[in-house]
Amino acid sequence: MQKPKSFRPWQPEQTTLLPPSPREWLSEDHQVYFLLDLVDELDLSAILIPAQAKDPRGGKGVDPRMMTLLLLYAYCVGTVSSRKIERACYEDLAFRVLTGNQQPDHSRISEFRRRNLDALKDLFIQILRLCQKAGMVSLGHVALDGTKVQANASKRKAMSHERMLRTEKELEKEINALMGKAEILDAQEDRRYGKGKLGSELPDELRRRQDRLARIRQARKEMEAETAAAAARQRREEAEEARAKAASAHEADALAAEQAELNRKAEAAAAKAMAAREAAIEAAEQAGLEPPDLEPLAADAMPKRGLARKADGAPTKKTQRNFTDPDSHLMQSGGSYLQGYNCQLAVDSDHQVIVAVGVSNQPPDVEHLEPMLQRIATSAGALPDVMTLDAGYWSEDNVKVCADQGIDAYIATGRLPHGQPPPPQRGPLPTDADAKTRMARKLRSKKGSRIYAQRKAIVEPVNGQIKEGRGLRRFLLRGLEKVNGEWHLIAATHNLLKLFRFRRSQQQAQWVATA
């Protein structure tokens, strides 16, 4: 008779005589060991020095280097919630090896990220430098693209200026009615039971309406302050432009009448700018905010959101503001709308390494090219030879900016049917052709069509790797400044994954060569 099939012993309760080494728990080429080796290549002084300067009394804290690697690995695998990270430190073998079997709680993880967000953001450049040192970045061809990422807020939590005003009036009317009813019931109960007792349910109703009225009123004031500041900034730019025209006319010895007219326009523009500035400061004071910064934006500063406003700086009826994340904006993405941010990525063609990033709450891409060029030069150390951009970046100014900086730019002038190359165009180019016609002809050439076709294979897969591969479709943090830090962290961990796979492939190639 044939013996029954036997199996390996399975004894979950069995303990080991000696503890096994963590090196035996994961494969030798696991990403965790790569990170543990990488920690010596990173400058973590911006995180370590403040932590070491704390009061030494009390219990010992966790090692900041371990916490940094923990966050980097968590973002690499798409785990960004502090509670999920804490649970993974108990349940996930890779997390336990990385932390040395320590389990920091979620509040400590969240506080570490909040306190060191700027230092974590700076790791993007350090990791990019490691990629450059490894020969993964040449800046021969860089593709720029913007992707809309959902904010940690719902678009249903937004309200238009018109609805805010209407709701305020309705709530004030309801509050007055409830107050009147409360006074009547209070007087009746005073006669019946004595003083000191109000109606049973009215205080809660009043409190809820008063709190909601206060939130809506504050949001409206902040919206009005933002649109007033935008109007003041525009008036200032117009005044500077008018003053520059008057000064250039004076240097060119213009006619007296022409010079007087230019001076009059400059003075009028300056007066409007001063009035708009005072209105913006007053609106900020009413909202309890700091005075607005009306100075010109830095060269690498991302464009600010342009809320719809009237000529006097007041918001229009349909201008909206979100209660959960006021910095986020309603944006169109994939045929629908989401409450989110416009996240920019500049990707090198060699190994899909991100060489510059930026975040703004301005939905159109066209205004992002100039600051992104500055960021590429700062983070990567040089500008690319060739750049490809989709139709969202098209403008004659952007073509000129690229040409002035020696970049061979290929910017789509319009949308093409999906999967179809631009149709060829024959015949000589007209001598009076404008910039758009010249760019369209450039894209229709054999060389231009071949180069531009590479764009979707350079930058679009990176968006997919971030959103689909790692599941990072929504920001965890709120507010433009924090979201910017988180986007840098997402980009840094993308490059970290590229560097890990590149070094692993080199090691495997060496093993094959020596075998």
**Amino acid making up residue 303:** P
Rounded CA-CA distance 296/314 in Å is: 21
- Global pTM? 0.88
Q: Which amino acid is at 301?
A: A
Contact 359, 343 (CB under 8 A): yes
- Going by C-alpha positions, the residue among 138, 134, 193, 202 that lies closest to residue 174 is 202
Report the alpha-carbon distance of residue 495 to residue 515 in Å, rounded: 30
What phi, psi does 111 have (nearest 5°)? -65, -40
From the list 465, 480, 459, 469, the residue with the least C-alpha distance to 151 is 480
**Residue 429 tokens, joined:** 């180019």
Instruction: Report yes or no: 168 and 209 within 8 Å, Cβ to Cβ.
Output: no
How far apart, in whole angstroms, are the C-alpha atoms of residue 228 and residue 245? Answer: 26
Question: Residue 417: what pLDDT?
Answer: 62
Phi and psi angles of residue 430, each rounded to the nearest 5 degrees, phi first: -60, 140
Residue (of 333, 349, 334, 344) closest to 366 by Cα position: 344
Phi-psi region for residue 78, left (φ > 0), alpha (ψ -120 to 50) or beta?
A: left
H or E element, residue 357: strand 354-360
Strand duo 158-160 + 320-322: pairing:
antiparallel
| Whole-number Å distance between alpha carbons of 464 and 449 | 24
CA distances from 383 to 142, 149, 455, 463, 488 (A): 9, 26, 17, 22, 20
pLDDT in tens, the chain (515 residues): 677 877 777 777 777 777 777 778 888 889 999 999 999 999 999 999 988 888 677 677 889 999 999 999 999 999 999 999 999 999 999 999 999 989 999 999 999 999 999 999 999 999 999 999 999 999 999 999 999 999 999 988 888 888 888 988 888 888 888 888 777 776 766 666 555 554 445 567 778 888 888 888 899 999 889 999 989 888 998 889 889 888 888 888 777 888 888 888 888 988 988 988 898 899 989 989 888 888 888 888 999 888 888 888 889 998 889 999 999 999 988 788 899 999 999 999 999 999 999 999 999 999 999 999 999 999 999 999 999 999 999 999 999 999 999 999 999 998 766 655 556 666 677 777 888 888 998 998 889 999 999 999 999 999 999 999 999 999 999 999 999 999 999 999 999 999 999 999 988 888 888 86
